[in-house]
Amino acid sequence: MNKVRTPIEVRYQETDQMGVVYHANYLVWFEIGRTKFIENLGFTYTDMEKYGIVSPVVDVQISFKKPIRYGEDTTVETWVETYDGIRTVYAYNIINKNNDIAVSGTTKHVIVHKDTFRPLSLRKAFPDWHQAYMKQINGES
């Protein structure tokens, strides 16, 4: 399974009054990681969007283990956990400066027509993405 690691610069405005990263910002970091993961496979969201197709989040799971503070070196690690041709579950670890998992989570996605939100099969609509995701699930590079 291919995991893509993306450095994250913790910005002051992402922290709360306790001096730690505000919980909702981890979802933004998940998106940064997911976008880099997709780019690492040779694709972009704009490849889909030019056909009027988007990939909304339909479920999020997140677990907070350790705080991340302003100024820390942080990395988001991203991979495809499950994929069935229709639904894709991306998994994430937010790694702190000590190489500990500070936050972990998943986001589940489908693809839909932008105007109608009618679901589509990724396997049929984007066979090249499907092949790349199947390779990820099967542990191929």
Across the beta sheet with 119-120, what order do the strands follow?
53-54, 111-113, 119-120
The owner of tokens 């994250």 is 8
Contact 78/69 with Cβ under 8 angstroms? Answer: no
The owner of tokens 């041709």 is 85
Of 67, 83, 80, 72, the closest CA to residue 34 belongs to: 80
- Residues 6 or more apart from 53 whose CB is under 8 A from it? 111, 112, 113, 114, 120, 125
What positions carry a catalytic annotation?
Answer: 16
Of 134, 25, 126, the closest CA to residue 84 belongs to: 134
Helix, strand or coil for residue 52? coil
